Structure 1
Amino acid sequence: MTADATTPELLVPHPAPRVPTERTHHGDTFVDHYDWMRQKDSPDVVEYLTRENSYTDAVTAGQEPLREAIFSEIKDRTQETDLSVPARKRGWWYYSRTEEGRQYAIQCRVAATDTGDPTRDWTPPAVVPGQAVPGEQIMLDGNDLAEGKPFFSLGGLAVTEDGTLLAYSEDNAGDERFTLRIKDLASGELLPDEVPDIFYGVAFSPDGSRLYYTVVDDSWRPYQVKAHVLGTPVADDVVVYQEDDVAMWTGFEISADRSRLLISIGCSEYSEYRVLDLARPDAGLTTLISRDERILYDAEPVTIAGAPHYLLTHDRGAKNSMVSLVAADQFARPLADQEWTTVVPHDDAVRVDGLSLTRSHVVLSVRRDTIERVQVLPLAGLGTPEQFLPAEPDFDEELFTSNLANAEFDSPIIRLSYASYLTPPRVYDYVLEDGSLHLRKETEVLGGYDSTRYVAERQWAPAADGTLIPLSVVRRADLVQDGSNPAVIYAYGSYEVSMDPGFSIARLSLLDRGIIFVTAHIRGGGEMGRTWYEQGKKLAKKNTFTDFVDATTFLAASGWVDEHRIAAMGGSAGGLLMGAVANLAPEKYRAIVAQVPFVDALTTILDPDLPLSALEWEEWGNPLTDPEVYRYMKEYTPYENVRPVAYPRIAAVTSFNDTRVLYVEPAKWVAELRRTTTGPEPIVLKTEMDGGHGGASGRYSRWRDVAWDYAFAADAVGATARMTDTPQ
């Protein structure tokens, strides 16, 4: 951790000015000395963050060779010129490709042919990286769009049913506010229609005459679904639906059969659907189940025996959710009088996450034994005694993830993605009629990757209350269980989000330096079902933090890991986790990397005008109205619980334009940590001045961000050199 000897002044951080600001709630006053950093437009704030970046650069200058080595390893192992497997929609095969040396993907298509043979017609054309694809049409080149811009990200892509128009949205600041444009794919010209400041998600009506999109309010909450009629002024765009409850999130999708616009309004505990018949858009919205019933559900229209029905994935009397079939006319009746037919019953051991639909099958996403899986159920006989049992594609690894990648409504196949800690991403086509799997692609890892050189296994760490916490442990197969190995432990643990098994080229750089990489599936995530999530939210949130500490204790006693060579890593809500465990057990970690960390959660959630604050009440509780929630949150919020102990070396990594976790949270946290710590370890703040919540844009920029984080952790645990027998 040394810097250039010619710049010794940079090795001493400038103390942040302390300007007291009082915040009083429920009779408790908290004095915040760094709230002045919230003034984003202030030259003093920009100067402070710039100075902090210089300090971080100086303190970590010794890691630059390691960062470059890791970046080069990522680059050298990646097939830079590559293509996705084409996916068919109507008369075209759509795919994206990347080219060596270029940051962004290129969106392409080629014409499809119909021979009358479904197998042949739905078999994707063979495409080879680096070779021209006959008949290719470039729809959108992200490299051209990003030229001369500090940031570039696509927010949505949509093509009309007839394939003539492309709608896309782009963000050039990193604040996740997008501008919508429409391109004529025949001429390559942009239409005059341009809609600024929209949110993610764009969809054409089936006839291509209008576009649906969402808009966020001042607190960055998606609250409106609007319709733009092509060729009309944006000022005339109609609000199809507006949600005024500040605690509810609004989104939309077009149903699989293209008959309905489905507007979903909800939080983490209950939801509501408003439905627009796209054949009669002037008829207005109808409500399926009111939010007043406090049911958390998703809905998909389906035609059964010629009559309109809905498939509901819901938690009515089913904590882990189930699937029911309901005739559309039932929703006009009181809930207690409605007739629902069970399609997939509730199971305490299986979480039903949702479903998709084709003309002939229901495709289920379920989670069992922490693993996400796909199941397929024919529509024939659905909801009757003749209903078939769900079929599940068979894979031979213990720890894997299988997701539905694409289910075109009229297709006889569905597209599946598959990955594990050891297997690079694969793409399969699953034939609905006979259940056969066809491997279409496995991502190539250059440099002679050999999966047998590594081991991935499940371990279980006991929490203090006796709960067993699943851990996914990945390591080199030739490591010795002698208690000397370094480790990085990673987790998230919020919003019922699961950290599922997946392959990472970047992670190989840690494994090949002898680091054991551990993902802790702590409470607050969704790996073990709905109860697992509920045991890590609101007034049970501390379980998330103590689970992580208990998992660390288990690792230190496992015989594999040196207790003095453990680094912790997490981002966003996982960054809040990093801040909490730093306060709870600073002695257990050699280093902590907190990525866009939500470390000033109480201050943020107490201000409903800040981005997303009101939406957080269903996750953490509402400290504005509930003094018990306020007290409980104040006991764990990282910024307010910094104490005079020897903290490990800490890196807080953030982005100036992040709208989800404002830069001010880690900036304040680092200032307070540095003022209070009794130890000698450096505590640094790294701010991406042009990035958003995901960091910088462009794949090479992202690789450098990962290399920076990994180098910080690897340097701290003394694992900078590759093992001598690393596969080449």
Structure 2
Amino acid sequence: MIEEKILPPKAEKIAKELEMHGDIRVDNYFWLNDRENPKVIDYLEQENTYNDKMTAHTKQFQENLFEEMKSRIKEDDSSVPYKSNGYWYYVRYEVGQGYPIYVRKKETLEAAEEILFDCNEMAKDHAYFNLSGISVSPNNKLVSFGIDTVSRRKYTIQIKNLETNEVLPTKIESTTGGSTWANDNKTLFYTRKDEETLRSDKIYQHILGQDPAEDKLVYHEKDETFNTFVYKSKSKQYIIIGASSTMSDEYMILDADKPRGEFKMFQERVRGVEYGFSHYKDHFYIITNKDDAHNFKLMKTSLTNTSSNYWEEVIPHREDVLLEDMDIFKNYLVLGERFNGLNRIRIMSWDNQEDYFLPFDNETYTAYTGNNPDFDTDILRYGYNSLTTPSSVIDFNMKTKESEVKKEQEVQDPSFKKENYISERIWATAKDGAKVPISMVYKKGIKRDGSNPVLQYAYGSYGHTTDPSFSSSRLSLLNRGFIFAIAHIRGGEYLGRKWYEDGKMLKKKNTFTDFIACSEYLIAQKYTSAQHLYAMGGSAGGMLMGGIANMAPHLYNGIIAAVPFVDVVTTMLDDSIPLTTGEYDEWGNPNNEEYYHYMKSYSPYDNVKAQDYPNILVTTGLHDSQVQYWEPAKWVAKLRELKTDNCILLLHTNMDAGHGGASGRFEALKEVAEDYSFILDLEGINE
């Protein structure tokens, strides 16, 4: 398949001793973490050249896959309009254009279209472009927005006059991109990031027309394990400042009509107590885990007495139901719950006359409440899709119980029929006896004889749940005989909060062993075999890939690790790196000896050893602010040095992008085509 002459790059070894708790680690590739060093850039470019040569025979196939996936996407598409403060807002795309156009119409959908932002024009001179945080003033005359052209998630906020279409000269740098208007139409609250760590740590108040250098600091979050943010209540009556860590929350509130006033504490932080709230009439409704309610419960309190000793229970804690979110309307309270891994949308009328669930009929779907900015309506907008059903936006009348599908994602492929695909949920048994669910989808007619290629995906950190959802690009794998499987491993919240707690800190290894147990089960049940099993994960899921590569390399023919967090110990000991300090409650703080040794025992980079590894593709971005490029680069260098096999090992660094990869809706598909062609090529499929 590949000529032997192509030799991989060899990174220079410069030993650096890292000592902690009397333990010495030698890092031969520590020198790679200097982005300004020409030798580092040279090494990354050598790896890119090697990757290009090794995949040269798949370049045409990648192009074909890209065109195939792109052809399924409706190019002149638009989102379902939603109404807010007298205007209908929606996003549309034009044929051949990679970026969205944000528009609105006054009062009716028959009115003339006003273009707020044409991102195709705005992105013209940039290799990367992202618009974020669009916020329209209460009088509908101004809009604030954030722009990032580097992909380090540092946004510059600007303001546009919607009457004259001119962008004001004000530029507020190093922000999260989002901002919130007070009700006076001239005061804007926003969040700034620390220049070095990129932690969101300060809230400022900007008054229209003043120099941002004179903006007033209204809140500074000094605890390095917390991030801060600011937003407005759905009722439009409060500006809310939040501070949040993995383990606790704190909020302060201000009357949105009195932006020069002082913020008042809602309930100060208590370690281990998380909460969030919504305003309705003369109460605040609070979702919290207070008093060991690990799956969360609903409470309420008056507008004047907001501290937790005044909170009253509305819906008690339930051992088998995770309460995830709420949406408040004039006549109804809507709750998002999770029961036995599945989403539920619960609708309750304030007058206690009605309490029911929306009906869903399979085990591999995702349902969520959509954009519902309008308070005074009986219409709930929600989204639904499944592994076999494209995304739908549905308007549900909570009073009459009538549904209207406003839009189903169009798959521009005449041969696509959802009934040609089968989805199912199966359960593997983990090392300690826990039952781990797997959601899977494949084309009808597949036989369980061990010969099917399977792509097994997972994330498994931060309590983030990978819900089973539809992907039109995934059809390129399914139509070529692949089974796609999502392992709902511990570290996510698929089976409730305890599922997350059992996959973090000193129980992190459950995440890896759960994934391996799922792989073994898929092989035992003859869905696939080790010769045809592929694993994929990104970011913290990339750490998972590094872990399983060390622990069970014999189970996989190939692994794709995207922006992988693999140098866990060194990163967690460096509190100058973005995100580190906020992560202590996820991984543990290695300044503590017990956590240091536990982390070192699974950290993928620290555990690379002389053994056979599967074929591996690693991707990263030079400007990544979340997992720095040097983690995957060092990992690949160490794998090259120690691995004892002849399998393929590739590192591709996008020299223009960050953590989220390329910008533009089609550019990102090129990265999917690269991933897919890697595993399809290993299967001998190249058309």
| TM bracket (short chain) | over 0.9
> Sequence identity of aligned pairs in percent?
38
Residue number in structure 2 paired with 1:75:
70
Residue number in structure 1 paired with 2:329:
358
Matches within 5 A, 1:328-727: 328-331=303-306, 335=308, 338-380=309-351, 387-388=352-353, 390-408=355-373, 409-448=375-414, 449-624=416-591, 626-721=592-687
TM-fit CA distance, 1:557: 0.9
Q: C-alpha distance in 2, partners of 1:719/1:374?
A: 42
Tell whether the 8 Å contact from 1:164 to 1:184 is kept in structure 2 after alignment: yes
Tell whether the 8 Å contact from 2:58 to 2:686 is kept in structure 1 after alignment: no
For 1:309, give the aligned amino acid. Answer: H
Quick check: 1:264 aligned with 2:264?
no
For 2:181, give the aligned amino acid. Answer: F
TM-fit CA distance, 1:403: 1.1
Q: Which segment is superposed worse, 671-680 or 350-359?
A: 350-359
Matches within 5 A, 1:302-313: 302-303=280-281, 308-313=282-287
Among 91, 98, 103, which residue is 1:96 paired with?
Answer: 91
Residue number in structure 1 paired with 2:22:
27
For 2:296, give the aligned amino acid. Answer: S
Residue number in structure 2 paired with 1:2:
2
Q: C-alpha distance in 2, partners of 1:657/1:580?
A: 24
For 2:201, give the aligned amino acid. Answer: Y
3-state SS of paired residue (1:253): strand
Q: Which segment is superposed worse, 294-303 or 549-558?
A: 294-303
For 2:222, give the aligned amino acid. Answer: D
TM-score, with structure 1 as normaliser: 0.92
3-state SS of paired residue (1:414): strand
TM-score, with structure 2 as normaliser: 0.97
For 2:372, give the aligned amino acid. Answer: A
For 1:503, give the aligned amino acid. Answer: F
Among 219, 224, 227, which residue is 1:241 paired with?
Answer: 219
1:94-138 deviation per Cα after TM superposition (whole angstroms, max 9, x unaligned): 00001121110000111214xxxxxxxxxxx4xxxxxxx761111
For 1:250, give the aligned amino acid. Answer: T
1:355-390 deviation per Cα after TM superposition (whole angstroms, max 9, x unaligned): 12223322211111212232222233xxxxxx3453
Q: C-alpha distance in 1, partners of 2:271/2:559?
A: 43
1:566-586 deviation per Cα after TM superposition (whole angstroms, max 9, x unaligned): 010000000000000000001
For 1:358, give the aligned amino acid. Answer: F
Q: Which segment is superposed worse, 406-415 or 519-528?
A: 406-415
For 2:673, give the aligned amino acid. Answer: A
Q: Which segment is superposed worse, 206-215 or 38-47?
A: 206-215
Q: C-alpha distance in 2, partners of 1:43/1:445?
A: 45
For 2:211, give the aligned amino acid. Answer: P
1:549-596 deviation per Cα after TM superposition (whole angstroms, max 9, x unaligned): 110000011122133110100000000000000000011110100000
Quick check: 1:163 aligned with 2:140?
yes
Quick check: 1:197 aligned with 2:178?
no
Quick check: 1:177 aligned with 2:154?
yes
Quick check: 1:58 aligned with 2:53?
yes
1:255-282 deviation per Cα after TM superposition (whole angstroms, max 9, x unaligned): 0111111222121221111112222333
Tell whether the 8 Å contact from 1:566 to 1:717 is kept in structure 2 after alignment: no
For 1:92, give the aligned amino acid. Answer: Y
Q: C-alpha distance in 2, partners of 1:201/1:374?
A: 28
Residue number in structure 1 paired with 2:188:
211
TM-fit CA distance, 1:342: 2.1
3-state SS of paired residue (1:329): coil
TM-fit CA distance, 1:209: 1.1
1:613-639 deviation per Cα after TM superposition (whole angstroms, max 9, x unaligned): 001101011111x10100000000000
3-state SS of paired residue (1:583): helix
TM-fit CA distance, 1:458: 0.2
TM-fit CA distance, 1:69: 2.3
Residue number in structure 2 paired with 1:294:
272
3-state SS of paired residue (1:485): coil
Q: C-alpha distance in 2, partners of 1:344/1:659?
A: 40
Q: C-alpha distance in 2, partners of 1:612/1:577?
A: 18
3-state SS of paired residue (1:72): helix
For 2:131, give the aligned amino acid. Answer: L
Please tell me the root mean square deviation across aligned C-alpha atoms, in Å. 1.5
Quick check: 1:283 aligned with 2:251?
no
Q: C-alpha distance in 1, partners of 2:559/2:540?
A: 14
Q: C-alpha distance in 2, partners of 1:495/1:277?
A: 33
Tell whether the 8 Å contact from 1:2 to 1:58 is kept in structure 2 after alignment: no
Tell whether the 8 Å contact from 2:147 to 2:177 is kept in structure 1 after alignment: no
Tell whether the 8 Å contact from 2:184 to 2:257 is kept in structure 1 after alignment: no
Q: C-alpha distance in 1, partners of 2:643/2:271?
A: 50
Among 204, 207, 222, which residue is 1:226 paired with?
Answer: 204
Tell whether the 8 Å contact from 2:182 to 2:257 is kept in structure 1 after alignment: no
- Stretches of structure 1 lacking an aligned partner (at least 5 in a row): 114-124, 126-132, 381-386, 722-728
Quick check: 1:315 aligned with 2:292?
no
3-state SS of paired residue (2:356): coil
3-state SS of paired residue (1:288): strand
1:668-718 deviation per Cα after TM superposition (whole angstroms, max 9, x unaligned): 000000110000012111001111111011111100011101111222233
3-state SS of paired residue (2:304): helix
3-state SS of paired residue (2:618): strand
3-state SS of paired residue (2:666): helix
Tell whether the 8 Å contact from 1:656 to 1:691 is kept in structure 2 after alignment: yes
For 1:254, give the aligned amino acid. Answer: K
Q: C-alpha distance in 2, partners of 1:686/1:432?
A: 50
Tell whether the 8 Å contact from 1:419 to 1:502 is kept in structure 2 after alignment: yes
Q: C-alpha distance in 1, partners of 2:684/2:432?
A: 33
3-state SS of paired residue (1:99): coil
3-state SS of paired residue (1:634): helix
Tell whether the 8 Å contact from 1:177 to 1:199 is kept in structure 2 after alignment: yes
Tell whether the 8 Å contact from 1:590 to 1:717 is kept in structure 2 after alignment: no
TM-fit CA distance, 1:302: 2.1
Q: C-alpha distance in 1, partners of 2:349/2:181?
A: 28
